[in-house]
A = this chain, B = another copy of it.
Amino acid sequence: MELSRVNELPYEDFINIFANVVEKCPIVAAAVCSSRPFGSVDALEAAIGDFIDALPESGKEGILRCHPDLAGRDLQAGTLTQESLKEQGNVGLDVLTSDEASSMARLNEDYKKRFGFPFVICARMNDKPNIFREMHARMANQHEVERMRGIEEVKKICHLRLQDLVHADA
């Protein structure tokens, strides 16, 4: 959709279209829609980033907790959002070997036990070996550092989802 059209949408349509640019957090689109018109897609993305940054720390962790595990129960149960399904599928998380699957399941559990939120990474900017490496490496981070790292990944995911939905006027 062209940006000029995005700027003209009734807020309900704006929220419906951008509901999942931050996974399962339509409040983000709902919060920034009154800042329209946006002069560029970057400006829309920046408004979303600013809103996330202005949340209390519990809200940032809340955003992380709205994300599914990688190759987790939502993937297995078919309850992933359309966006996450595509992203996890693109990097092969839907066809793990049984060794990879049990390793991933253990890493997910260890990570969640340590931090209280799931491991979030922009799958489309990584490949499978890199995702495993990052899961191991980030496990050593301090809680606050890792909350920030997770939110950085949320913003990368948001960036790519926005690119899929809106472009500058021709």
B-contacting residues of A (Cβ < 8 Å)?
Answer: 11-12, 15, 24-35, 51, 54-56, 58-59, 61-63, 65-66, 73, 112, 116-117
Contact = CB atoms under 8 A, between A and B. Distances in A.
Contacts of A117: 11
| Chain A to chain B: the 8 pairs with minimum beta-carbon distance, closest first | A31-B62, A30-B62, A30-B65, A31-B58, A27-B62, A54-B56, A31-B59, A25-B27
A34 B58 contact: yes
Give the interface SS of chain A, mostly helix, strand, loop or mixed.
Answer: helix
Instruction: Tell me the number of copies of this protein.
Output: 2
A34 B116 contact: yes
Contacts of A62: 27-32
A112 B14 CA distance: 14
